[in-house]
Amino acid sequence: MISLNKLKPYLKETVLVTSVFLCIIGVVIVLIKTFGIASEMGHLSANTLSLPEILPLLHQIQDFMIMSSGLIVLLAFSLVFCLWYFINRQMKIIRAAAIIRKSHERYRFFTEGPPSIGIVRFDLIDFRVKDVNRAALRLFGKARSEITGQRLTSLISAKDKKAFLQCMADLQAGKKNAEIIVRINSDLSDNAYISWHISSLKVPSSEPEAIAIVLDVTHKVKAQEERLEKERLAGVLEMAGATAHELNQPLQVVSGIAWMMLKKLKKDDPNYINAEKIYKEVERMADIAQKISAISSYKVKKYVGETRIIDIDKAASSSNRNKRPLSE
């Protein structure tokens, strides 16, 4: 048995079909009644009947008039409902055509834009690509057949998939617009950065869609990284210069004292070994200070857990590393 929930979207059509069906049945019944009454009237005209014999015929005519009136009302209702239904349906078609026309105008505006602006249209259910323009194909470095029908995640680098999927989840949750910069899997470059400016679309009688403007921002990202690198390097150089300058004088004093102790002490003196160790460690500290003063790049290494520290050996210029001899 068909449930009411399944018939609910087609309620108007059901009422229309039912009314037309009832009109047909009513017309058939009226025609049958008409032929019956006509036959009775012919019989009356051929024979002279008494009043009791005419009464049944009068009752039939009365019933016929009532049925005809009901049929006229039903026909009028059906006619008005049909006119309302077809006018309403035509208005819906006109509105849908206007929406589609606006969408087409929007797509044409994007596709006729500058050749460097890529356009990607995809659904918001499983993120499968529906269409791309030529600029997007050039950015991704792929053919149209390699992109259309595929999921967007196949274009995104594994390092940025989590952030991209979170952005897609926000759009599915009802967010209208989203922006994100991610690396892509490209045959042209492994480090290409693409910015996505995404807008969700409401298309009638269709699954939810989104359209994205994609731009190559690799040079911009690289320039920003270089700027941050220079800022970090400037901070490191300032700290390195200050540290080396402040350590230089006390190291020279301790080194001089240790050297004087080595000159005055005999090698068989128990304090000679300690003085020699002090002198070597001071010389080691002086070497580290020279490396710090020679830092010219930003290089780091892991320390404990997620902590990172400056890699002095890699960050220092090798040309400025001059060790002092232990004996003079």
**Helix axes 11-46 and 51-111, enclosed angle (nearest 10):** 150
List 302's β-bridge partners, or say none. Answer: 308
Q: Quote the tokens at residue 212.
A: 């994205």
φ/ψ of residue 74, rounded to 5: -65, -40
Q: Quote the tokens at residue 80.
A: 């008005």
Cα of first residue to Cα of last residue in the chain, in angstroms, is 108
Q: What are the pLDDT tens digits along the chain (328 aa)?
A: 445 555 566 677 777 777 777 777 777 777 777 766 666 666 665 565 555 656 666 676 677 777 777 777 777 777 777 778 788 888 888 887 777 676 666 555 555 556 678 888 898 888 999 888 888 888 888 888 888 889 988 888 888 889 999 999 998 888 889 999 998 876 555 578 889 999 888 765 567 888 888 888 888 888 887 788 777 777 777 777 777 777 777 878 888 888 888 888 888 887 888 888 888 888 888 887 777 777 766 676 776 666 667 677 776 754 444 444 433 3
66: CB partners within 8 A, 6+ apart:
none
Q: What does the alpha-carbon distance between residue 278 and residue 255 come to, in Å, rounded to a whole number?
A: 8
DSSP string, 198-229: EEEE--TTS--EEEEEEEE-HHHHHHHHHHHH
